[in-house]
Amino acid sequence: MIHQVPFVLNLTISEYRRLVNLKPWNRKWNNPDVLDIKAKIKTQLTYNQECCAHCGLPFKGSKGKQIEHIAPNANYRQPQFTFTLHNLVLSCGYCNDLIVKGTKPTIELPEHRFYSRCNFLIVHPYFDDPDDYYDWTDNNDRILIQIKNNEEKAKYSIEMFGLDSEEMSGWRAAFSLLNIQNDLKPISSDDEELVQQTLEYKK
Ligand SMILES: [Zn+2]
């Protein structure tokens, strides 16, 4: 249902150098000097990921797919991780835009200066295997998420991304029914319509 994301981002040494050598006030992805690197990263992530890193649902069209900073550079700010490649993943608009994502930290504060040694509060898309944290129950027209081994990270992620919401449980079941989740093709508009019809039929 939710899968660990394989890490595939790969920059050249000169690209790394360009990022590292940016002045602190220029360390932003909208800096024109690094837009080519940003585009390269987006291509690599898009090629690698067909489903949202947090909720596991397939992206719905191009608008539903966003590059996300796992440790955000807004609100609970970890701007030092803006260019950390393990901090960049694709998530759906719902998980990335959710108000709670900006109001609660994803890293235990104060954070370690090295990203990989931070204590993450959520199930990390690259470092953690969701199979260690979640169980699934098929409840007719809903696939319900359950916490494995009373894992705190699972509780935190479920609350943060609303993984136990009616809507998400329904979508999960609908996509599973259509066997889209394991199919690496992008969702066609026909598939989306079918999912919508399935959901409406079940109401
Ligand atoms: Zn999502």
CA–centroid distance, residue 73 to ligand 1 (Å): 19
CA 165 / ligand 1 centre spacing (Å): 12
Instruction: Give the Cα-Cα-Cα angle 173, 174, 180 (nearest 5 degrees).
Output: 105
Please state the rounded mean pLDDT for residues 141-159. 95
- Mapped onto helix, strand or coil, the DSSP state of residue 147 is strand
Radius of gyration of the chain (CA): 18
Ligand 1 centroid vs 49 CA: distance in angstroms? 12
Which percentage of the chain shows pLDDT scores above 70? 81
Number of C-alpha atoms within 13 angstroms, CB side, residue 151?
21
Ligand 1 centre to CA of 162 (Å) is: 9
Q: If you measure from the C-alpha of residue 136 to the centroid of ligand 1, how many angstroms do you get, rounded to a whole number? A: 17
Provide the pLDDT for residue 203: 45
CA of 38 to the centre of ligand 1 (A): 21
Binned at pLDDT 50, 70 and 90, residue 188 comes out as low
